[in-house]
């Protein structure tokens, strides 16, 4: 009898992520051939996916729908802002163009151009998957008990227990 996905197990799985509205494939671990490996309970993948994988067994496949609240959150209208056009002087602007900016503290902000005119550029700084229902087609490849050292190491790295 194979292990099942439960707290303090290390799980390896392949996934294909689709947009819940359009059905379009957004990304897949199969493209790289590298499965995702995470420890259950360490906060390493989005909660809505982790919670719905509990109880799955090795070799099992499942299509899992995750609402925005348990993934990347709803779209925040405050993160859609207008900026002066001169901030984007050397950028050939187009709608949907992904951009990056640095904060004074050195953090990278990702944004997408929503609209622009001669004076202003409207950018959306929400996560690209915010507000979306996500469909994960998952296949569990392996499940192992996490060693006490692994549990401790992952907790130290910032993952917490439930």
Identify the CATH class of 77-124: mainly beta
Mean pLDDT of 117-134: 94
32-49 pLDDT, tens digit each: 999 999 999 988 999 999
**Domain residue spans of the chain:** 9-72+131-156, 77-124
Total length of the chain: 162
pTM (predicted TM-score): 0.78
Identify the CATH class of 9-72+131-156: alpha beta
Say whether 77-124 and 9-72+131-156 share the same fold. Answer: no
Mean pLDDT of 77-85: 95
Q: State how far the Cα of 91 lies from the Cα of 97, in Å rounded to an integer.
A: 10
Angle among Cα 118, 129, 107 to the nearest 5 degrees reads 70
């Amino acid at each position: 009898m194979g292990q099942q996905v439960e707290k303090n197990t290390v799980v390896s799985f392949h996934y294909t992520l689709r947009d819940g509205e359009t059905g379009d494939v957004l990304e897949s671990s199969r493209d790289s051939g590298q499965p995702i490996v995470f420890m259950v309970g360490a906060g390493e993948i989005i909660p809505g996916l982790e919670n719905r994988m509990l109880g799955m067994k090795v070799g099992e496949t499942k299509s899992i729908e995750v609402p925005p609240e348990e993934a990347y959150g709803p779209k925040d209208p405050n993160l859609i802002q207008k900026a002066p056009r001169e901030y984007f002087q050397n950028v050939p602007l187009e709608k949907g163009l992904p951009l990056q900016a640095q904060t004074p503290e050195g953090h990278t902000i990702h944004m997408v151009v929503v609209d622009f005119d001669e004076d202003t550029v409207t950018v959306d700084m929400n996560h690209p998957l915010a507000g979306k229902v996500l469909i994960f087609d998952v296949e569990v490849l392996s499940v192992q008990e996490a060693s006490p050292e692994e549990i401790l190491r992952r907790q130290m790295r910032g993952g917490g227990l439930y």
